[in-house]
């Protein structure tokens, strides 16, 4: 522990400083109980048949083999991918746009930022039910469409529109995360650079292309990966809007796993889906660790885990 003393003393063995490890112990305990134990037990469930009340015997990799051939699972993988790409692109574009708007000397900027943050921090049950009321059959959006001479849109009734609706609501719940993160990055751009660019006659597009974008590019990659993880993780937006319906149209892996476990009472299947999604998430996490070397990204106030 050289930093302890400035004075050089006769070499003497210092006792090991246990404090840092004692301080880490409570968090380690929680991780082991709430993640380590479920991981091992969940893995073993995924190799068994049976129900929540009566776990069956080991069936090896049967659950996985059957899942891969199950059209519901295949559909769920495809839907998860579409939902993820849609929400990443949508929330990033909107969030970055708003960050660019907010990146200026404005009276009352905190007020605008605060108002634009609200969708991020309110309970999922509130936002989903509000959207449901707005977009339900014969609801206000429907009435507006009629007033404009358009026909009504079945926002929840057809597979395509239901996928659109859950993606839209997830984008609405997530853009503030992108906005706040991009804004923080934009605000660290050296003002001298911007002034020099202006003096050289650069317009706003040139400014964005040559100064802003290089500055936020690495962070952006991190944000895309993080948002992909949140979207794959998302249960509440989808469940509270469509319960995965119509049919199984909007079931991502989380909803599918929930459905198998708690509604179909097939724990082996449910656990297998959860393990598969863990593998996907881990792959993204490793990708994230690589890109985090340069940027340590936002730890979101993730009301929307």
Partner 1 sequence: MSAAAAGAAPFAVRAAGARRRGHRLRVWALVVLAIGANIPVLVVLVNSLKSTEEFLITNSILPLHWTLSNYHILGTQTDFWSFVRTSVSVTALTTVISVTVAILAGYSLSRTVNAFTAGYARSVLILQMFPIMLELIPLFILFGYLRLINSWFSVVPLYVAGVLPYGIWMAKGFFDGMPREMEEAAWVDGCSHFGSFWRIALPLSGPGVAAISIFSFLLSWNEFLIASVFLRNPHAETIPVGVFVFVAEYQTNWGPLFAASTLALIPAFLFVLFAQRYMVQGALAGSVKQ
Considering only residues 105-164, where is the footprint of partner 1 by CB under 8 A?
A: 105-106, 110-119, 121-127, 129-134, 138-140, 143
Prior bond of 246 cis (ω within 30°): yes
* Look-up of token digits 């290089």: 214
Alpha-carbon Rg of the chain, whole angstroms? Answer: 25
CB 192 to partner 1: min, Å: 11
Q: Please select the residue that binds partner 1; options are 62, 66, 81, 97, rule is CB under 8 A.
A: 97
Task: Please identify which residue in 101, 153, 157, 249 interacts with partner 1, judged by CB under 8 A.
Answer: 101
**Residue 280 C-beta: closest distance to partner 1, Å:** 9
- Span 262-281, contacts to partner 1 by CB under 8 A: 262, 267, 270-271, 273-275, 277-278, 281
Comparison of 163 and 181: residue with beta carbon closer to partner 1: 181
Of 196-235, binders to partner 1 (CB under 8 A) are 197-199, 201-205, 207-208, 212, 219, 229, 233, 235
Task: Check binding of 26 to partner 1 (CB under 8 A).
Answer: yes
Q: How far is the CB of 199 from partner 1 (least distance, A)?
A: 6
Instruction: Find the shortest distance in angstroms from Cβ 39 to partner 1.
Output: 7
- d(Cα 112, Cα 108) in Å, to the nearest integer? 7
DSSP secondary structure string for all residues of 39-81: HHHHHHHTTEEE-SSSEEEE-TTHHHHHHHH-HHHHHHHHHHH
Closest CA to 219 of 182, 172, 167: 182
Q: Which stretch binds partner 1 (CB under 8 A): 65-73, 81-89, 94-102, 157-165?
A: 94-102
Using rule CB under 8 A, residue 12 touches partner 1: no
Distance between CA atoms of 48 and 36, rounded to whole angstroms? 19
CB 244 within 8 A of CB 255: yes
**Minimum distance from residue 198 beta carbon to partner 1 (Å):** 4
Shortest gap between Cβ of 72 and partner 1 (angstroms)? Answer: 16
Window 54 to 83, contacts with partner 1 (CB under 8 A): 55
Q: Rounded distance, CA 236 to CA 255, Å? A: 9
Give phi and psi for 38, each to the nearest 5.
-60, -30
Q: How far apart are CA 212 and CA 50, in angstroms?
A: 55
């Amino acid at each position: 522990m050289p930093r302890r003393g400035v004075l050089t003393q006769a070499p003497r063995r210092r006792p090991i400083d246990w404090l840092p490890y004692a301080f880490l112990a409570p968090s380690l305990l929680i991780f082991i109980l709430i993640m380590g134990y479920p991981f091992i037990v969940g893995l073993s469930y995924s190799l068994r048949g049976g129900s929540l009340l009566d776990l069956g015997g080991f069936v090896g990799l049967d659950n996985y083999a059957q899942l891969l051939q199950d059209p519901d699972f295949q559909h769920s993988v495809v839907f998860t991918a579409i939902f993820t790409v849609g929400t990443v692109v949508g929330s990033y574009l909107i969030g970055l746009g708003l960050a660019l708007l907010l990146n200026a000397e404005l009276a009352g900027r905190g007020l605008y930022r605060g108002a634009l943050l609200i969708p991020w921090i309110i309970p999922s049950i509130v936002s989903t039910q509000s959207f449901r009321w707005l977009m339900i059959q014969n609801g206000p959006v429907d009435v507006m469409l009629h007033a404009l001479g358009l026909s009504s849109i079945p926002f929840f009734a057809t597979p395509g529109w239901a996928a659109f609706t859950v993606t839209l609501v997830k984008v609405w719940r997530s853009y503030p995360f992108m906005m706040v993160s991009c804004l923080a990055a934009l605000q660290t751009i050296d003002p001298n650079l911007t002034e020099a660019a202006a003096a050289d006659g650069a317009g706003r597009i040139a400014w964005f292309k040559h100064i802003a974008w290089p500055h936020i590019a690495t962070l952006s990659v991190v944000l895309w990966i993080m948002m992909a993880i949140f979207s794959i993780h998302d249960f509440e937006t989808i469940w509270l809007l469509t319960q995965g319906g119509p049919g199984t149209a909007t079931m991502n892996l989380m909803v599918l796993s929930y459905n198998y476990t708690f509604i179909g009472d097939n724990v082996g299947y449910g656990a297998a889906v959860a393990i598969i999604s863990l593998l996907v998430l881990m792959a993204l996490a490793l990708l994230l660790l690589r890109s985090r070397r340069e940027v340590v990204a936002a730890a979101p106030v993730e009301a929307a885990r």
